[in-house]
Chains A and B, each alone.
Chain A
Amino acid sequence: MFFALTDEQRALGDTVRDFLADRFDLTAVRAVFEDAAGDGHPTELWKAVGEQGWLAVCVPEEYDGLGLGILDAHVVARALGAGVVPGPWLSTVLAGEAVRLAGSEAQRADLLPRIADGDLAATVALRGAGRGWGADGVTVSAVPVAGEPAAEAGGELGALTGAASPVEYLAVAGLVVVAATESSTAAGAAGAGAGSATGSGGVGLYLVDPQAAGVTVEPLTSYDGTTRLAALKLEGAHARRLPGSSAAVLEDLVRRGAVLTAADLAGIAREALTRTVRYDQERIQFGRPVGSFQALKHHLADLHVAVTMAEHAAMYAAYAIDAELDDLLLAVAVAKAKASQAARDATAAMIQYHGGIGYTWEHETHFFYKRARRLYGAFGDPPSHLERVAALTIDTVAAPDSEAAAV
């Protein structure tokens, strides 16, 4: 039994944290956070992220990657969350995973090395505004481009129409992986417009060039200055399909996103708690440190338990994906629900237990709170994951009269 990070994985996390402390601390975060008109993508940071190999973690060695897994990526995600770091790391890693999981050999050879070294910033557009995560949330449809044979370089060409929103770092991405519904008949797909998958057709993942004809990027505001959001509009935009893609691959991709987001949230939560404890050890009121009051202590102790459980859950779910454990669906839902809740609670406490200063723009509390709030819904909010947990653990339990049969 070894449920822990290896020395190498610990070292990876330490490297990210040390780098951030040294080269991209909260002053640097603030500069990006407050520059709402900027692209939120500091060049120096991105260059270093590429050089350090943090984009290469999940890329196979044959494509110049490190050939590691989601467990290792989760270590990076946790450290980036703790640093409330801006930039398209997560979106690029997920685009890479889509290519790795469903791309042709030629697509992998073309894209993965460029993703691994930071040459290509990328993102994913998997759902429509107001929709769920998964095949039924897709509001882009694809029809095959008539008379176009599958190109040497990749899968068949499709024409994509519809919208996806919100999409992270769309404005700086050189590549967007777009989920689109595919109808068995061209006529049905042509009329689908911005409709959604009904389950009758399949889902494909397509490689969209943001500069291509028929692609429009509409910036969206985000209260969280550690990202940039936009809506993607497609009107007959041509894009190559990832030949191995399917609704199952989309769901796999969403799970990877959910786990890495859970890790980011666990990192946010731990850092928020640590900073709050440090402040309350020193802040004097009534002639004593406010951290000596039991009202704070007991709540902070409960938060420590909750954050620790979120860390365990994110780590377990990441490993469950890599090892394809039997309970991986449950593990991912547990991790995303728990980490979302722990981060919300820890960052809310961070504001509360800093008192008035914690509610100011000048203090960093709101970086943590707002990032946690944004990620609360990313790849599924707690209620949706709890319903998943319910489906897996309530609907599968045998009724009392059929207990013998089930056992």
Chain B
Amino acid sequence: MDLTFSAAEEAFRADLRGWLADNLPSAWREPGFWATVPDAEAFELRREWERRKFDAGFAGIDWPTEFGGRGGTPGMKAIYDEEMAHARAPSTVNSLGLAFLAPTIMAIGSEEQKREIIRPLLRCDVIWCQGFSEPDAGSDLAALRASGVADGEDIVVNGQKVWTTNAIHADRIFALVRTEPGSQRHRGISMLLIDMHQDGVEARPLRQMSGATEFGEVFFTNARVPATECLGGLGNGWATAMLLLSFERGASGILQYTSFRRAYDEIVRAARVLGRDQEPVLRQELAQRLVELECLRYHAMHVLTRVEQGADLGSESSMTKLQWSETYQDLFETFDNLLGSDIAIGSPVAGLDLTALQAEGFWSRSVTIWGGSSQVQRNIVAERVLGLPR
């Protein structure tokens, strides 16, 4: 057992902390700051922040240097996640590109794709969104119907994608499209890298129940994409998508722990102001949430250990998602319990600004849906980890 990071990793932490202290605007660290900034302006602030971070060498922490990364260890990536959450630095505006597209291109992309796509993505000069879900293909992704038909050197795309994070800000979309007419289920699908800035592509914002518009829908009407702008080969999109989704498996949960642990402390402060922090029943409930959060922290150390050993976590990552998402949601149910009758009021309550916690509470309803719903995750754990029959 060794729960320490190496000297090089701790030196990296010190560097990053110092840089954050000098560069992260103090206003950004205030809870609720981002709720005061209009969406479009917030996006540009965050994009600019990503560029500064890249230029300072704090992007792509565990990516090879040839792609503009820092060439660091998995431990450095965990430290990065932890420190960014501690400092309340904004999360990246290119999350899906960073987490999924870039590692897939590193693994199976052409040399040209590696050269052309990865560095601009990391610097957030090109923002990517992911076109997987459709109105009739959510958890059942293989039911997708967006079509692509060859026309000369191009593929002409028609159809609709939905729940697309960053749809209205994105420059390009990596989309699953049925390129073999009449094909069924997993066959005949391609992953196309489509330019959003063309007449045939329209992105519309979707307002979420929280009031924010982080996601949207994308309509393709005779949109064109060169046939060469395909990742993993034409007709091979399903395998490419599965590989792409597998890159979620390196995520340890440390980022979630760090930010949820702070939410716990904020909820405790609210309980104190509301005069409820000594109520035995609420104490038991809060403590139960803390137990699950600490278990998430231990689990993150387990995942990081496995990653450092070069293990493929496989379906085990479904457990990580279940633990953090369900715990997070439960935490905000506890928040609701301590608000009592004042739950009717948005903010402030008893002089306390609850804007940020209320927003998180609504947001928490989404985390058990996106990225594979809890129900899908439980199927995966039951069938692929426990070996229960389909």
Contacts and interface: CB of A to CB of B under 8 A. Distances in A.
A123 B134 CA distance: 64
A1 B4 contact: yes
Interface stretch (B17-25, B94-102, B263-271): B263-271
A3 B304 contact: yes
B298 A393 contact: no
Contact of B1 (A302, A319, A383): A319
A394 to B, nearest CB: 5
Nearest to A312: B298
A300 to B, nearest CB: 6
Interface string A361-372: 000000000000
A73 B385 CA distance: 28
B40 interface: no
A312 B284 contact: no
Nearest to A2: B2
Contacts of A292: 388-390
B379 interface: yes
A1 B290 contact: no
A137 interface: no
Given A4-B305, A289-B389, A394-B271, A309 B292 contact: yes
Contacts of A305: 319, 322-323, 381
Interface string B276-315: 0100100110111011101110110110111010000000
A54 interface: no
A403 B323 CA distance: 29
A323 B4 CA distance: 12
A28 interface: no
A291 interface: yes
A397 B272 contact: yes
Main secondary structure of the interface of A (DSSP, over half): helix
B35 interface: no
A390 interface: yes
B304 A390 contact: no
Contacts, number: 156
Contact of B273 (A6, A277, A337, A400): A400
A277 B283 CA distance: 35
A367 B182 CA distance: 57
Nearest to A274: B386
Nearest to B316: A308
B283 A386 contact: yes
Interface string B60-91: 00000000000000010010000000000000
Contact of B389 (A291, A310, A389): A291
B382 interface: yes
A71 interface: yes
A272 B269 CA distance: 40
B3 A319 contact: yes
Contact of B378 (A71, A297, A308, A331): A297
B319 A393 contact: no
A399 interface: yes
A301 B265 contact: no
Interface residues of B, number: 52
Nearest to B6: A1
A280 interface: yes
A289 B383 CA distance: 13
Interface string A292-317: 10101110111011001110110110
B38 interface: no
Contacts of B2: 1-2
A275 B107 CA distance: 40
A3 B2 CA distance: 6
A390 B287 contact: yes
A393 B290 contact: yes
A313 B4 contact: no
B352 interface: yes
A361 B304 CA distance: 44
28 contacts: A1-B5, A1-B78, A4-B305, A6-B1, A291-B388, A292-B389, A297-B388, A298-B382, A301-B378, A302-B378, A304-B381, A304-B385, A313-B295, A316-B298, A334-B295, A337-B288, A338-B291, A338-B295, A386-B288, A387-B284, A390-B283, A390-B287, A393-B264, A393-B290, A394-B268, A394-B286, A395-B277, A400-B273
Given A305-B381, A323-B3, 14 more contacts: A1-B3, A2-B2, A4-B302, A289-B389, A291-B388, A298-B378, A300-B382, A301-B378, A302-B378, A305-B323, A389-B287, A390-B287, A394-B271, A397-B268
The 8 residue pairs across chains A and B that have the minimum distance between CB atoms: A297-B382, A3-B301, A309-B295, A301-B381, A389-B287, A312-B298, A386-B287, A390-B283
Interface of B: 1-5, 75, 78, 264-265, 268-269, 271-273, 277, 280, 283-284, 286-288, 290-292, 294-296, 298-299, 301-302, 304-306, 308, 319, 322-323, 352, 375, 377-379, 381-383, 385-390
